[in-house]
Chain A
Amino acid sequence: MTEMTLTQQIVTVAVIVGGTMLTRFLPFLLFPAGKSTPKFVQYLGKVLPAAVFGLLIIYCLRNVSVFTGSHGIPELIAIGVVVGLHLWKRQMLLSIAGGTICYMLLVQLVF
């Protein structure tokens, strides 16, 4: 569970709501009459998502220790399953469910 107080939790969630709303409303506030978008912004729009999802994968794995415990082997296998399933069937939910079940089985029964 959390070490935050309820107030800190509310502030954190409010900040996330505010940040999310900012990203959704900003274009409508900045470009009300369909002004053309700056080239640099267009460029970021093209390249940023791929980089951010790479960052998020590392973020998810940040507490995996390569030198202790299970050495990140269950994570490696399960990611392999996700990638394999996805390249095979290209069904988002199947890939997510398959990889997660595989990981759960590994950490509960094997490691």
Chain B
Amino acid sequence: MGLIGRKPKGKCPPGTAKKALRAAFPHTLPIFAGFWFLGLTYGIYMNACGFSFWYPMLMSLTIFAGSMEFVAVNLLMGAFDPLQAFAMTLMINARHLFYGLSMLDKYKGTGLKKPYLIFGMCDESFSINYTAKIPAGVDKGWFMFFVTLLNHIYWFSGSTLGGIFGSLLQFNTEGLEFVMTAMFVVIFLEQWLKEKNHTAALLGLGLSLLFLIAFGADGFILPAMLAILGVLTLLRRPIERGGDAA
């Protein structure tokens, strides 16, 4: 079965890709709904912030990390600060490191598709590829490739359409920026309901608030991140023990 990378190209039976596409597509349908909703909103939001559709179009294509792209709009509207942009990207996307660790084996032997699979490993692609039971006879490399590609297409098309049609919208978009807050509140809540020990969640909220008050809106992110990392490191033993006991 499907270890494409180890086989000479010609030996792959005809129709392998098509069969994998047909198996992958139904898994991505819920993502289609979600990405179009969020992508359209993201495009409209960028438009409302004064950016042409080229921005959501190119950013959804190259960054392909939804929450980061919303933050990127804010970064683009602030003062030029690449170091802060880099640090925020690392913190927000640090979870990908752990997706990668879980996918080391699954992505093995996928040949030329592997770099794209890693490039496109957003939350949704990861969760499908990590959990989906790929039917026997379907090539796993192509299956995961199409899951990733379809998700990428959904996000890209939704964002681009939002950017294009945002300017045609007749309704008042004031307050639309709250979509980003709402998104992070929901993700935070999901995390909260899943975990037994809330120390890290509360530290994230509390330390950030503290540093916001101390340093103001423009300068609190970096110190807050360092403080969170530092305190989490110091509290490692109690948190790990508390997590087991709970």
Interface residues of A (CB under 8 A from B): 1-4, 8-9, 11-13, 15-28, 31, 34, 37, 40-41, 43-63, 74-75, 78-79, 82-83, 86-87, 92-93, 95-97, 99-100, 103-108
Which stretch in B94-102, B134-142, B158-166 binds the other chain? Answer: B94-102
- Give the docked Cα–Cα distance between A50 and B125 (Å): 20
What is the distance, in angstroms, from A15's C-beta to the closest C-beta of chain B?
5
Residues of B within 8 A of A61 (CB): 181
Asked if A55 contacts B100 (CB within 8 A), the reply is: no
Asked if B182 contacts A96 (CB within 8 A), the reply is: yes
- Give the docked Cα–Cα distance between A96 and B77 (Å): 23
Interface residues of B (CB under 8 A from A): 33-34, 37-38, 41, 49-51, 58-59, 62-65, 67-68, 71-72, 74-77, 79-80, 82, 85-86, 89-101, 104-105, 107, 114, 118-119, 121, 172-176, 178-192, 195, 198-209, 212, 217, 220-221, 224-225, 228, 232-233, 236, 239-240, 243
Residues of B within 8 A of A107 (CB): 174-175
- Which residue in chain A gives the minimum CB-CB distance to B91? A52
- Give the docked Cα–Cα distance between A92 and B220 (Å): 29
Residues of A within 8 A of B38 (CB): 93, 96
Residues of B within 8 A of A46 (CB): 243
Residues of A within 8 A of B172 (CB): 104, 108
Residues of A within 8 A of B41 (CB): 100
Interface SS majority for chain B:
helix
Residues of A within 8 A of B67 (CB): 56
Known: A16-B85, A31-B101, A99-B178. 9 other contacts (CB 8 A): A4-B79, A11-B82, A17-B62, A23-B89, A23-B95, A28-B104, A28-B114, A79-B181, A83-B185
- Give the docked Cα–Cα distance between A31 and B71 (Å): 30
- Report if A93-B91 is in contact (Cβ < 8 Å); known contacts: A24-B96, A78-B182: no
Asked if B121 contacts A95 (CB within 8 A), the reply is: no
30 sampled A-B residue pairs with Cβ under 8 A:
A1-B50, A4-B79, A4-B80, A8-B80, A12-B76, A13-B58, A13-B59, A20-B96, A26-B97, A27-B97, A43-B239, A46-B243, A47-B232, A50-B192, A52-B92, A54-B201, A54-B203, A55-B91, A55-B205, A55-B221, A57-B181, A58-B212, A87-B189, A93-B34, A103-B178, A104-B172, A104-B174, A105-B175, A107-B175, A108-B172
- Give the docked Cα–Cα distance between A65 and B182 (Å): 18
Asked if B188 contacts A103 (CB within 8 A), the reply is: no
What is the distance, in angstroms, from B14's C-beta to the closest C-beta of chain A?
30
- Which residue in chain A gives the minimum CB-CB distance to B183? A96
